[in-house]
Structure 1
Amino acid sequence: MKAFKIPESVLVVIHTPALEVLLIERADHPGFWQSVTGSQDTVGEALLQTAVREVREETGISAGPDQFRDWAVSNVYEIYPVWRHRYAPGVTHNTEHVFSLCVAPGTAIRLSAQEHTAYQWLPYLAAADLCFSPSNAEAVLMLPRFVAG
């Protein structure tokens, strides 16, 4: 039996210095574009380690913890009903912690076929428009203030 997901997750906005943002399309919901997201594997897993692991699993990018920027921004949101079965009974909300990762243009992407079917790099404003999650779109729009300085 698979354990329930932990309602503490990360959102990692992967971008280039020119603010092109990587979006990946969910395999289980075609047309749902997002940044890298994922829940802690264990209650004790550090959020930065969750970010490093999820980026590697979902994109094939092996980045060290020192390459990530913790925005110290958290979003609490209601879990979409279609995904609530993954959580313990009665869990309806998730806390998402936002990170970013700057990569070189042309960085190779290797998707996890079980999770995502396609990827694209878009200027950050266009990427924000395409994100299905409001908190993901908001994070992408905040990107310039976390890159400059």
Structure 2
Amino acid sequence: MRKLLKGISLSVITSALIVGALMVIGFHGVLNATNTESFCISCHEMNIAYEEYKGTVHYKNRTGVRATCSDCHVPRDFGPKMVAKIRAAKDVWHHLIGTIDSKEKYENYRLTMAKTVWQKMKKTDSRECRVCHTVASMDFEEQ
């Protein structure tokens, strides 16, 4: 009987470890998938922003280095990244209710969206920008 219980306990622990590992891998996969440019522009509301982005130096420049949506909008560190992901869940709601589902609605809501981003940049001291833009790397003669 004792041997049977030991075998069951070992099976339960092993199963729990496997399930836990699969959950961590799945969670990591979802995080990575939601940081891709293709995910960001998969909602038609982002077409306007994406077309504008394609006309910027962050999309096309002489060095060929491209900043994607997540480079500018998603923190690198786990804690701030999770906060950003949770806050971004509101975008799903706005997608469902059609807050910016036309060019006119997008333009009417543009300043509100911009103010939200500006407020975040001020609060975080432009943390995401400073991943790429560092004073030590700047060539002031070229500016």
TM normalised by structure 2 equals 0.28
Q: Which has the higher contact order (CA 8 A, sep 6+)?
A: 1
Which of the two has higher C-alpha Rg?
2
Q: Say which structure is richer in helix.
A: 2
Whichever structure has more strand as a proportion of its residues is 1
